[in-house]
Structure 1
Amino acid sequence: MHDSLFASAPAGAITDVPGIEAGHFTDTRRPTGCSVVIAREGAVAGVDVRGAAPGTRETDLLAPGNLVNEVHAIVLAGGSAWGLDAATGAVRWLEEHGVGLDVGVARLPLVPAAVLFDLPVGDARIRPDAAAGYAACAAAATGQPLAEGNVGAGAGAVVGKMFGLQHAMKGGIGTACVRVAGVTVGALVACNAVGDVVDPETGRPLAGARTAAGDALRGTRRALLRGEPPHPLLAGSNTTIGVIATDARLTKVQAQRLAVSGHDGLARSINPVHTMSDGDTLFALATGRADQHPGMMVLATMAAEAVAHATVRAVRAARSLQLPGGLSLPACTDLRRAG
């Protein structure tokens, strides 16, 4: 079975967007971590939450009708709600480096965040904290190429849990960018979906729920439609979170619409997506560095494409994981795909 043209397309990175830095912290004590996307000079921001079980911080301030227009970083983290503490460390790092909203007596960094549930992967008592968020910012400042796969917020990510964790596969974090008419749109996506990650060009599963024998993909959509019952799922135990960034100049309303459009990319690359057990959340950042503006129709198309690319990269870059107790999470490259 040959790969689609989509699968071999250049990936790029969210850091290709002028004004954007990104970095990871990966906890070596168990597979978990956090990732940060930084806009030191501030970026107009928006957010769209589609999953029914989100874990977020500071998303209300991004509503178009609310006062604050720009933020300075976005944090993505494992550790479920505990992982939101990573944003506190990012705030501290940014303040130390003079980044933030000038409120007269200080510079106040504004850092929204979203988390995914990776607690079953290793010791749940180990999760990203403020020190982890601080370290991710320090890593971003080095300017090193952005790693993908089993790092940062994707370190403990798992996909394809519809029929139980024992049939799932390793998820991860991926990045991509798209350029059109002098404007760049990039995405960073940590994929911990309950559904399968699929090739957007063919709809064929790349990673997800495996068959009972464990050596091939089951194809979650087809399995559900032929009547196979899903495994009981804990609400919020699955989530895909990410950041879209562009150098186009956007209003706050337009940034929110860009985040909305990014979910089209998730819908093309994850099936099923936006379920009652997922907390799917996408942020959008606009640095305004580009002189050109191709229009919102083109930007929305670019955002969906970048998100879909980044989601596929998240599983293609992932590597297998063997956990204590015998649980094995193979990677995309380990299995033949369902037809």
Structure 2
Amino acid sequence: MTNQTLTAIPGLLVGHATRTDLHTGCTAILCPQGFTPGLAVPGFAPGSRETELMRPESLVDCVHGIALSGGSAFGLAAADGIMRHLQQLGHGFPVPHGVVPIVPGAVIYDLDRNTSRGALPDAAMGQAAAAAASSDPVEQGAVGAGTGARCGRLFSCYAGRDASQKAGLGSALASHGGILVAALVVLNALGNVVDPQDGTFLAGGRDEHGAPLGQAAMLAALAGDALPPSNTVLTVVATNVPLNKAQTSRLARMAATGLARCLRPAHLTLDGDMVFALASQQPLPAQAGPWTENLLGALGAEAVARATVAAATTA
């Protein structure tokens, strides 16, 4: 079976460090030879590092990895270990005294699931995830940064009980004529997950009988003032098409629409949703193409929607 995950993009490696006993972990996405970065931030409460350099006007034109982690802001430390791993292999931005790997990152809030509050994703966990990275199909489910993820967190205190549902990490590929766009999603969502084709409930809040908590329950919960404080969907979308930074950021923005196809609701004030984009700096294979930015955006949104469904249904 062909690879239908993020690592189908040549040059990308993915590895996880998972602490099932602590309900947390981190994921390292490595691009040692450098990929062009882009960024979209559809959420209003992101937890991140080094995202400013991904903007088109910033000087650095390539990154060497992306760090995704649990642990809320504490988990940003995992990126230090990923940097160390890349530095030891000689990958990074050249400076007079060696190399500095460029590794932006973002986190989800899973502190409410962590059974040992003092044990959080750190540099050692990040280095372990980086050391495990490979071009094999991405392991999906309750692994890496998705270990403590949930969906339907809007209902985490519904009628005196936690009515949310376990989620995790998913990945998917969309392609056309050799043009590849793949996505990886860490699903820690406030809302429910629905089928992007017909709106059928897939995962999220359920009442005591197992029935889905739908639109009426969602609106009633949103009208209250006791919403969960931290909900985040982290996304990485990548393509084998060489792009500049402005084009790569446009890809991130277009691909982000795939989240709204699946999440009800999406991108509210307490959500930390972020979409990282990565574009190869290697030439396309001679047989691939043609392509336009609009084609990439459509493929990106499709890949993100499929990865979101996978994150909700494989945990």
TM-score bin, normalised by smaller chain: over 0.9
2:252 is matched with 259
Q: AA paired with 1:298?
A: L
SS of the counterpart of 1:210? coil
Q: 1:76 aligns with which of 59, 68, 74?
A: 68
Per-residue CA distance 1:175-231 (angstroms, 9 max, x = gap) = 0011112111111100000000110001122111112x1412112x34234788557
Residues 158, 192 of structure 1: 8 Å contact kept: yes
1:30-69 alignment, distance < 5 Å:
30-69=22-61
Q: Write the distance in 2 (CA, Å) between the matches of 1:11 and 1:215.
A: 34
Q: How far apart, CA to CA, are the structure 2 residues paired with 1:147 and 1:230? A: 38
Question: Is the contact made by 2:189 and 2:231 (CA closer than 8 Å) also made in structure 1?
Answer: yes
Is 1:316 equivalent to 2:309 in the alignment?
A: no
The structural deviation recorded for 1:168 is 0.4
- Secondary structure, aligned partner of 1:303: helix
List, as ranges, runs of 4+ consecutive aligned residues in structure 1 with deviation greater than 3 Å.
224-231
**TM-score (structure 1 length as normaliser):** 0.86
Q: Deviations over 1:105-158 (max 9, x none)?
A: 2111000000000011132322210011101111114x4432111100100001
1:249-290 CA distance string (max 9 Å, x none): 101000111111121000001110101121000100011332
- Report the Cα distance in structure 2 between the residues aligned to 1:229 and 1:187, rounded to whole angstroms: 33
Q: Of 70, 92, 95, which residue of structure 2 is paired with 1:100?
A: 92
1:233 is matched with which residue?
227
Q: Give the secondary-structure state (helix, strand or coil) at the position aligned to 1:245.
A: strand
In structure 2, runs of 5+ residues without a counterpart are: none
Whether 2:231 is the aligned partner of 1:242: answer no
Shift of 1:28: 3.6
Measured in 2, the distance between the counterparts of 1:194 and 1:120 equals 14
- 2:154 is paired with a residue whose SS is coil
How many residue pairs get matched?
305
**TM-score normalised by the chain length of structure 2:** 0.93
Larger deviation, residues 97-106 vs 224-233: 224-233
Equivalent residue in structure 2 for 1:223, among 209, 217, 229: 217
Residue of structure 2 in register with 1:191 after alignment: 187
Deviation string for 1:80-111 (max 9, x for gaps)? 00000000000000000111111132111000
Question: Which runs of 5 or more structure 1 residues have no equivalent in the other structure?
Answer: 1-9, 319-339
CA contact (8 A) 2:3 2:137 kept: no
Whether the 8 Å contact between 2:237 and 2:300 is mirrored in structure 1 is yes
Contact 2:221 2:227 in 1 (8 A): no
Contact 1:224/1:230 (<8 A) preserved = no
The letter of the residue matching 1:233 is L
Deviates more, 1:291-300 or 1:194-203: 291-300
Q: Structure 2 vs 1, CA of residues 216 and 298 (structure 1 numbering), >3 Å: closer, same or farther?
A: same
Instruction: For residue 248 of structure 2, give the secondary structure of its aligned residue in structure 1.
Output: helix
8 Å Cα contact 2:8/2:137 also seen in 1: no
The alpha-carbon distance between structure 1 residues 214 and 94, as it changes in their structure 2 partners (threshold 3 A), is: farther
* CA distance in structure 2 between the partners assigned to 1:214 and 1:60 by the alignment: 46
Asked if structure 2 preserves the Cα contact closer than 8 Å seen for 1:248 and 1:293, the reply is no
RMSD: 1.7
Asked if 1:117 corresponds to 2:109, the answer is: yes
1:273 corresponds to which residue? 266
- Matches of 1:284 and 1:151 in 2, distance apart? 21
Against the structure 1 CA distance between its residues 230 and 158, is the aligned structure 2 distance closer, same or farther, given a 3 Å change threshold? Answer: farther
Say which SS state the counterpart of residue 256 (structure 2) adopts.
helix
Structure 2 CA distance for aligned equivalents of residues 228 and 84 of structure 1? 29
CA distance in 2, matches of 1:11, 1:315: 20
Which one is further off, 78-87 or 29-38?
Answer: 29-38
Counterpart of 1:179 in structure 2 is 175
Which residue number corresponds to residue 287 of structure 1? Answer: 280
- Relative distance call for 1:226 and 1:26 in structure 2 (3 A) is closer
Query: How far 1:74 sits from its partner (Å)?
Result: 0.4
How many angstroms apart in 1 are the aligned matches of 2:44 and 2:64? Answer: 26
The answer (yes or no) to whether the contact 1:162–1:230 under 8 Å persists in 2 is no
Alpha-carbon separation, structure 1, partners of 2:220 and 2:81? 47
* Whole-angstrom distance in 2 between the partners of 1:107 and 1:12: 33
Amino acid at match of 1:281: M
The aligned amino acid for 1:309 is R
Within-5 A mapping of 1:84-95 = 84-95=76-87
Contact 1:162 1:231 in 2 (8 A): no
